[in-house]
Amino acid sequence: MAGEAVADAVAEVPLVDSGHLTSVDVYITSQCNRRCTYCFLTADFLASRTHMSIDLYDRILAWSRKHGAGEITLLGGEPSLHPEFTKMVTMAHGAGMNVRVVTNGTKRFRRLIESLEIGPDQLSRVAVSLDSIHEEVQDSLRGPRAWRDARATIDLLNENGIPFDINVTALRSVLGGVESLIEFAGNVGCRRLNIHWPSAIGLGRQLPADEMPDQGEWMDLVRRIDGRTEPRAGFFVEIERGFLTGNEKLTGCALTDFSNLQIFPDGRSYRCGLLVDRPGMASLAMTGDDLVFIQRESGEERLASAMTSSRRSCPAVKSQDRRACIYDKVSSTLRP
């Protein structure tokens, strides 16, 4: 993974911008202080300790602004472990972009906030990974001190007036505590509780089958979230719809809508988050100053082509269940 992804000169075709892309996810490092049991990234990627170059990052910022994306999301690994993390936040903020960070709450991230190396005004929002209000559950999924790190980070964000979300990966062992977690999130000033389906990719391929919610359990949770009206103004819960019913067709597909973009440290890029654990599925790469096609007959492009004739289910999920796009979400009612 060292170096930047290089496009095949024969297949290189400029990407046509659909105009739907408002935010770009940038995986600035593969380095991580944790090995969460359900991580969608691979062990090889996490072990590679690859950092995105400042030059590539600068070109991503310029491309994003050119194509109308007003937000950059910094991810990893753990993004704050990139040696130039502070500079990357400053660069994006200085370019007039909103900066969102997804963190497990590691001590290094907190130290950068506490020391004011990163000013509160530089972060538009931070997403903290927290799956349970119970320390033993969180630590069993993410490792020792995971719960304490997440809680300490939430407290610090509150103290500094930095808007924050909580990201939840809803394994079956987590489902029973979702209501308590929603109550906690509302009480501590969270902006959004974002509930993810536990995708069985990357490290998550090793998840026990009984940790995956079934269709009935998931749809019941979706209905409960959809029917909620939050007691606190400014807070809401969001969840992936997960499944299609009856004769429903996909309301959207990230592959064909180009509503999502995830760029890895070497420049390879994906439109669908369910494919990021397979380097060969990347049909795009940042090359020079542009995002271009590096393959037109395979990878994401093959799946996207199949979607032109059928929109009956997510093409990235090989399952008997009819799955919705992971970016198709429902929300509880947000009070003004």
∠ CA 223-227-229, rounded to 5°: 145
Residue type, 177: G
Per-residue pLDDT of the chain (336 residues; tens, 9 = 90+): 445 655 444 344 455 555 678 999 999 999 999 999 999 999 999 999 999 999 999 999 999 999 889 999 999 999 999 999 999 999 999 999 999 999 999 999 999 999 999 999 999 999 999 999 999 999 999 999 999 999 999 999 999 999 999 999 999 999 999 999 999 999 999 999 999 999 889 999 999 999 999 999 999 999 999 999 999 999 999 999 999 988 888 888 888 888 899 999 999 999 999 999 999 999 999 998 999 888 888 899 888 887 766 667 888 887 667 889 999 999 999 887
Into how many domains does the chain fold?
A: 1
pLDDT of residue 218: 96
Q: How far apart are CA 250 and CA 21, in angstroms?
A: 19
In this predicted structure, what is the pLDDT of residue 19?
Answer: 64
Residue 54 CB neighbour total at 10 angstroms: 14
Residue 8 lies in a domain: no
Comparing CA positions, the residue from 279, 178, 264 lying closest to residue 224 is: 178
pLDDT of 260-309, one tens digit each? 999 999 999 999 999 999 999 999 999 989 998 888 888 998 888 877 66
Bridge partners, residue 329, by sequence: 240
Q: Which residues contact 85 (CB under 8 A, 6 or more apart)?
A: 28, 74, 79, 112
Phi-psi map region of 63: left, alpha, beta (phi>0 left; psi -120 to 50 alpha): alpha
Residue type at 25? D
Question: Does residue 318 sit within a domain?
Answer: yes
Asked if residue 101 is part of any domain, the answer here is yes
Cα 253 to the center of its chain, rounded Å: 16
Question: Domain for residue 322, yes or no?
Answer: yes
Is residue 73 domain-resident? Answer: yes
Helix (H, G, I), strand (E, B) or coil at 11: coil
Domain that residue 110 falls in: 19-331
Residue 6 in domain: no
pTM (whole model) above 0.95: no
Closest by CA to 193, choosing from 151, 224, 239, is: 239
- Within a domain: 2: no
Which CATH number does the domain housing residue 324 bear? 3.20.20.70
pLDDT for 313: 84
Domain-embedded: residue 113: yes
